[in-house]
């Protein structure tokens, strides 16, 4: 198994891509910390994983709160004594055109999607550096590479995550820690399922493979990047988008 006995901490793991990643990692031997703000869904995910024979624990966290993040990391280390993989998956959207975007919604998205990634990575890096190894995986987005109407705040965070990924790769690579990002395209999650069918059809038309991605498509990309098979991939942004951006 690709992640046999590895300890993986996944934020936003109670649903969507995070949950799919937890399941894929579990099937590949990882021991898991399921971190999410939604305690009910998070505990349900842990129970699912345990029924499959995986070792998993839940930690409630608001990634935009520094105290919460440190408590999350401390709990993971107390339980498993190490952290081998961090997946910075937690994120939110608050869409709006530039001229109508509420400054409060700008602040909310920046706090979770950008500051939260910084908080989590800083805290986990302080565990990984003494270990001399580790893998950090960040959730970017195709819109972080090419922009998107009505998503000034979200695009700013995902572009920022790409920049941080490359910076951390330079800083942490010499210490044995690999850092990469995944940039999903249009993925069918609970969020997209609520969109009108006409909008979903347009998304499919824009994607050369003529379908929306599934959470498992992203989860398998994370699995590869977390595994030793990707031991020489570092500072990369992997687009998983059905050909949307080539």
Which residues carry out catalysis?
154
Place of tokens 């990707």: 230
φ/ψ (deg, to 5) at 212: -85, 150
Between the alpha carbon of residue 223 and those of residues 26, 27, 65, 150, 236, the distances in Å are 10, 10, 27, 31, 15
Q: At what angle do helices 215-226 and 16-27 cross, to 10 degrees?
A: 50
Q: At what angle do helices 66-80 and 116-131 cross, to 10 degrees?
A: 30
How far apart, in whole angstroms, are the C-alpha atoms of residue 120 and residue 228? 23
> Order of strands across the sheet with 177-184?
56-60, 31-36, 7-11, 85-88, 134-139, 177-184, 237-240
């Amino acid at each position: 198994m690709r992640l046999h006995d590895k300890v993986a901490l996944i934020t936003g793991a109670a649903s969507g891509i995070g949950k799919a990643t937890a399941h894929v990692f579990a099937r590949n031997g990882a021991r898991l910390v399921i971190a999410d703000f939604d305690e009910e869904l998070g505990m349900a995910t842990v129970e699912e994983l345990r029924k499959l024979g995986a070792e998993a624990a839940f930690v409630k966290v608001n990634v935009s709160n520094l105290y919460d993040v440190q408590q999350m990391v401390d709990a993971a280390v107390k339980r498993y004594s190490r952290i081998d993989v961090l997946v910075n998956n937690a994120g939110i959207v608050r869409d709006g055109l530039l001229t109508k975007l509420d400054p409060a919604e700008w602040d909310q998205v920046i706090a979770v999607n950008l500051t939260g990634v910084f908080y989590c990575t800083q805290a986990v890096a302080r565990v990984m550096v003494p270990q001399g190894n580790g893998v950090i995986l960040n959730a970017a987005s195709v819109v972080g590479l090419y922009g998107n109407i009505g998503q000034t705040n979200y695009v700013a965070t995902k572009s920022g995550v790409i920049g941080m990924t490359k910076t951390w790769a330079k800083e942490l690579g010499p210490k044995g820690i690999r850092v990469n990002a995944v940039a999903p395209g249009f993925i069918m999650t609970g969020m997209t399922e609520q969109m009108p069918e006409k909008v979903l059809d347009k998304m499919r038309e824009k994607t050369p493979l003529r379908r929306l991605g599934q959470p498992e498509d992203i989860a398998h990309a994370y699995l590869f990047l977390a595994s030793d098979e990707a031991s020489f991939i570092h500072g990369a942004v992997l687009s998983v988008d059905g050909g949307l951006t080539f």
